[in-house]
Amino acid sequence: MKDDAQARPASQGTWVGRPLERFEDEALLAGRGCYADDAPVRPGTLAAAVLRSPYAHAQISRIDAARALAMPGVRAVVTGADVEAWTSPFIVSVKQPMRHWCLAVDRVRYAGEPVAVVVAEDRYLAEDALEAIEVDYDELPPVIDPVAAAQPDASILHADVGSNVVSDRSYRYGDPDAAFAEAAHRVRIDVRYPRNSGTPIECGVVVAEHLPGGAGYDVLSNFMGPMSLAAVMSLALRIPAARLRLRAPRHAGGSFGVKQALFPMIVAMCVASRKAGAPVKWVEDRLEHLVGATSATGRVTTLEAAVGDDGRITALAWDQLDDCGAYLRAPEPATFYRMHGCLTGAYAIARLRVRNRVVLTNKTPAGLVRGFGGPQVYFALERLVQRIAVELGLDPLDVFRRNFVPSGAFPYRAPAGALLDSGDYAAVLERALASAGVDDLRARRSAARSAGRLYGIGFAAIVEPSISNMGYITAVLTPEARAKAGPKNGAIAAATVAVDLLGGVTVGVDSLPQGQGHATTIAQVVADALGLAPQDITVDVEFDSRKDGWSVAAGNYSSRFAGATAGAAHLAALRVRERLARIAAGALGCAPADVVFERGKLFARSNPGGALSFARAAGNAHWAPALLPEGEMPGLRETVFWTPDVLAAPDGHDRVNTSATYGFAFDVCALEIDRATGSVHIDRYATTHDAGRILNPALADGQVRGGFAQGLGAALMEEFVYAPDGSFRSGSFADYLVPTAMEVPEPAIAHLETPSPFTPLGAKGIGEANNMSTPVCIANAIADALGAGVDPAAIELPMTPSKILALVAATERMVSR
């Protein structure tokens, strides 16, 4: 049974915007996907297992692998000594003498840090040998709490740095102090954002081969970029980037940013292959993934607003402390700087003060996790907006309405530099209220409350940045240091469209998809440009750094696909179209500009009857180059590199347009707290988006639902918990709780589309909005349910029943201890 969406549209140019079924699905549903652990490897490929530190902080006084090496099937053991000999420490984005190697050298700084790699004939044997490696650890005092770690007397992780605070930058835009001095009210909130993760169901996989003759390394992995890290890896391996060939298989089992953190293990496996003299394959297991892959950055924030009597915010002051774990690992401290330009959120606030400190603790290094920076910022900002309404006795909806960037003001330059490209926040709000049925929810709340029940309504308004400026991270440097280092900016996307000798169209893209359906969307986009059907387009999403067009920004992150990669594919297809028009114009007897591409045919606008098939027109270019018009090159293959014009390097006043586009989402959550158990029942959740032009609504809604489920998990159950001694308490899927179908309700989704003026198709990202909006929206609803008496700082994620009940008790002094 085919959906109507699958049928050919009446006129051309309308594949984009239809909820097409996915071309990816048949293979995946048949179990015939090719994920990294399914991809063929050379005979003789060995298996790796990783020995990890049981301690959070310790000096390694001795490693003896002799017993392990004598075990059956064991071929090599790699330790810090090998790593020191063959690699360099990873470069860091702040100038600090911190040495971070792919395996621990002399010291371990988090529980789960890789200490050695065993290479054996199979994984079972490799794991046997792990137990035989003798390591003597001298334990050192661990630092777990970020605030304590920032104190001068804290135990120091990196002696050469001399402090755990590795970056401390302050920023000032407008005149915030005057605004605070004049303000009728100051409203302040102190919040913490926990460590959590996207935990894709497929873990990391790396197959590395050291090539003889100085040819470098060949790596197959489910690493998903950003490809800027290719530079970090090749520098660590002391080879030119061209000698590190990175390949990705056809399919990937989710990433949510997390597989970015595979890069140190890619380097470790390259070393392992070199030492073992054979290709080495490592399949990260779930325990390794949880304890050692990466984590969202934990954050401690104090946020204060200068507010007028009407709830109008005139200035914001942020004090943020990021817990980046044991090493500042690339691209950190990007969790801060991705959001830097839009720290004023959806609001027209001209004055802003920011202090950003990065602190290291004895925890897994932080990195990309879907939403990257957004959940942390909006947990503070949107809790603050809720508090402004409570403290000033205003309807929270009025606080939004009075502070939103006005509808006619786009593109709007925010004080820290974001150029909000397009939007109509007030209109989205109204649509959201209708979608949620807010009047009905308020009636339900009144009824519930008069019956003594705990019912609350929460809201969240978030600006969702997409297509990250490669230069934003340099905002961490002072303008002087930046000038010395040279400017960085842009967000180059690449796509290649080729037409073959029978007129078949192949597209290659740089987006390293992790399951989002990029092949389907690209087929829709290119079909529109060439007057073909999506079924006619072959999209290759495998990646090979030796063969594909790519640049630093390539990869699957910052929701860059719809705006940047699909846009580049569109432009490349247009280029092919122009060339075909020139080639066919003569035969069609018209000017190239009058060649129409429709339904697989080319014809002159004035003569639809005299059509040439697309295949014929393209075939001529291959089989009869002599017929090409004067000046036309042979071959039909166009690669477009596109970068948004609006992404400049940070200026001398630390203003930076951190992303090319900014979507918007407004969420409404109504929930009830069960007084007996403290558990939360979501009564209704409505999420309303403006992501610019939507390329495939079914896939866009899929992104919303997936992000919502993860946001719900972050709100209610997900957390990486460390004991005071630094041991890890969330080391299995029985401890790190991910929501199941029983916990995830069905959100009501609505859209409004204000196309971006800055992307080729008018599209923006949509995949991260709910990771940003849902945690705080649920928290606001819980705060509302608990009533005005609740300590705002006590709303800490995840809001487990145990915590909620303690708050009910504290607020109502009802439950005896």
740 binds other proteins (CB under 8 A): yes
Q: Binder to other proteins among 628, 705, 748, 812 (CB under 8 A)? A: 705
Q: Binder to other proteins among 84, 177, 190, 285 (CB under 8 A)? A: 285
Element (DSSP H or E) covering residue 319: strand 313-323
Q: How far is the CB of 569 from ligand FES (least distance, A)?
A: 24
Amino acid found at 120: A
Q: How far apart are CA 164 and CA 425, in angstroms?
A: 41
Q: Which residues lie below 8 Å from residue 375, measured CB to CB, with a gap of 6+?
A: 193, 296, 711, 714, 771, 772, 775, 776
User: What string marks each residue from 543 to 572 as x (binds ligand FES by CB under 6 A) or -?
Assistant: ------------------------------
Q: How far is the CB of 805 from other proteins (least distance, A)?
A: 6
Token output for 601: 């045919």
Q: How far is the CB of 590 from other proteins (least distance, A)?
A: 42
Restricted to residues 95-154, the positions that interact with other proteins (CB under 8 A) are 123-124, 127-128, 131
Element (DSSP H or E) covering residue 272: helix 263-276
Contact 323/362 with Cβ under 8 angstroms? no
Rounded to the nearest angstrom, the gap between the alpha carbon of residue 747 and the centroid of all alpha carbons in its chain is 22
* Partner interacting with residue 754 (select from ligand FES, other proteins, none; CB below 5-8 Å by kind): none
27 binds ligand FES (CB under 6 A): no
* Partner interacting with residue 174 (select from other proteins, ligand FES, none; CB below 5-8 Å by kind): none
* Partner interacting with residue 574 (select from ligand FES, other proteins, none; CB below 5-8 Å by kind): none
The closest of 227, 229, 226, 222 to 203, measured between CA atoms, is: 222
Q: Is 142 or 713 the residue whose CB approaches other proteins more closely?
A: 713
Paired strand residues for 119: 48, 76
Candidate segments 76-84, 300-308, 732-740, 775-783, binder of other proteins by CB under 8 A? 732-740
Work out the number of other CB atoms within 10 angstroms of the CB of residue 250. Answer: 18
Name the packing angle between helices 374-392 and 769-786 (round to 10°). 30
Candidate segments 94-102, 259-267, 590-598, 797-805, binder of other proteins by CB under 8 A? 797-805
Q: Is 24 or 128 the residue whose CB approaches ligand FES more closely?
A: 24
Q: Is 292 or 515 the residue whose CB approaches ligand FES more closely?
A: 515
Helix ranges restricted to H, 460-595: 479-485, 518-530, 560, 566-588
Q: How far is the CB of 130 from other proteins (least distance, A)?
A: 9
Q: Which residues lie below 8 Å from residue 289, measured CB to CB, with a gap of 6+?
A: 199, 203, 204
Contact 659/418 with Cβ under 8 angstroms? yes
- Cβ-in-10-Å burial (0-12, 13-18, 19+) of 390 comes to middle
Q: How far is the CB of 282 from ligand FES (least distance, A)?
A: 17
Q: How far is the CB of 746 from ligand FES (least distance, A)?
A: 17
702 binds ligand FES (CB under 6 A): no
Q: Binder to other proteins among 7, 29, 447, 502 (CB under 8 A)? A: 29
Q: How far is the CB of 748 from other proteins (least distance, A)?
A: 11
Q: How far is the CB of 511 from ligand FES (least distance, A)?
A: 17
Q: How far apart are CA 365 and CA 98, in angstroms?
A: 13
Q: How far is the CB of 199 from ligand FES (least distance, A)?
A: 10
Restricted to residues 239-258, the positions that interact with other proteins (CB under 8 A) are 251-254, 256
732 binds other proteins (CB under 8 A): yes
DSSP category for residue 8: P
Q: How far is the CB of 733 from ligand FES (least distance, A)?
A: 7
Q: How far is the CB of 465 from ligand FES (least distance, A)?
A: 24
**How are beta strands 680-690 and 748-751 bridged, if at all?**
parallel
What backbone phi and psi angles, to 5 degrees, belong to 623?
-85, -20
Q: Is 254 or 692 the residue whose CB approaches ligand FES more closely?
A: 254
**How are beta strands 58-64 and 107-108 bridged, if at all?**
antiparallel
Name the packing angle between helices 425-436 and 438-450 (round to 10°). 50
Q: Is 201 or 593 the residue whose CB approaches ligand FES more closely?
A: 201
Work out the number of other CB atoms within 10 angstroms of the CB of residue 727. Answer: 17
Q: Locate the DSSP E strands across 194-270.
A: 205-211, 216-221, 244-248
Q: How far is the CB of 708 from other proteins (least distance, A)?
A: 6
- Cβ-in-10-Å burial (0-12, 13-18, 19+) of 732 comes to exposed
Q: Which residues lie below 8 Å from residue 774, measured CB to CB, with a gap of 6+?
A: 460, 667, 669, 685, 687, 707, 708, 710, 711, 712, 714, 715
Restricted to residues 779-798, the positions that interact with ligand FES (CB under 6 A) are none
Q: Is 298 or 345 the residue whose CB approaches other proteins more closely?
A: 298
Q: How far apart are CA 303 and CA 380, in angstroms?
A: 7
The closest of 227, 686, 655 to 428, measured between CA atoms, is: 686
513 binds ligand FES (CB under 6 A): no
Q: How far is the CB of 515 from ligand FES (least distance, A)?
A: 5
Contact 527/534 with Cβ under 8 angstroms? yes
Restricted to residues 182-201, the positions that interact with ligand FES (CB under 6 A) are 201
Q: How far is the CB of 161 from other proteins (least distance, A)?
A: 31
* Partner interacting with residue 802 (select from ligand FES, other proteins, none; CB below 5-8 Å by kind): other proteins
* Partner interacting with residue 734 (select from ligand FES, other proteins, none; CB below 5-8 Å by kind): other proteins
The residue count for binding other proteins (CB under 8 A) is: 80
Q: How far is the CB of 699 from other proteins (least distance, A)?
A: 7
Token output for 402: 């009075």
Q: Binder to other proteins among 271, 717, 779, 781 (CB under 8 A)? A: 717
Q: Binder to ligand FES among 114, 254, 345, 762 (CB under 6 A)? A: 254
Helix ranges restricted to H, 310-437: 334-337, 374-392, 396-403, 425-436
| Coil, helix or strand at residue 400 | helix
Q: Is 343 or 522 the residue whose CB approaches other proteins more closely?
A: 522
Q: How far apart are CA 195 and CA 291, in angstroms?
A: 12
622 binds other proteins (CB under 8 A): no
* Partner interacting with residue 10 (select from ligand FES, other proteins, none; CB below 5-8 Å by kind): none
DSSP category for residue 671: E
Q: Is 594 or 743 the residue whose CB approaches other proteins more closely?
A: 743
Q: How far apart are CA 150 and CA 321, in angstroms?
A: 9
706 binds other proteins (CB under 8 A): yes
Token output for 131: 């137990």
Token output for 229: 């890290």
36 binds other proteins (CB under 8 A): no
Q: Is 388 or 797 the residue whose CB approaches other proteins more closely?
A: 797
679 binds other proteins (CB under 8 A): yes
The residue count for binding ligand FES (CB under 6 A) is: 3
Candidate segments 23-31, 310-318, 527-535, 599-607, binder of other proteins by CB under 8 A? 23-31
Q: Residues 608, 614, 615, CA angle at the centre, nearest 5°? A: 140
Q: Cα–Cα distances in Å, from 172 out to 226, 352, 452, 655?
A: 30, 6, 47, 10
204 binds ligand FES (CB under 6 A): no
Q: Is 254 or 762 the residue whose CB approaches ligand FES more closely?
A: 254
Amino acid found at 622: H
Q: How far is the CB of 740 from ligand FES (least distance, A)?
A: 12
User: What string marks each residue from 514 to 533 as x (binds ligand FES by CB under 6 A) or -?
Assistant: -x------------------
Sheet with 537-540, side-by-side order of all strands: 537-540, 505-509, 493-499, 637-642
User: What string marks each residue from 505 to 534 as x (binds other proteins by CB under 8 A) or -?
Assistant: ---------xxxx-----------------
Interface residues with ligand FES (CB under 6 A) are: 201, 254, 515
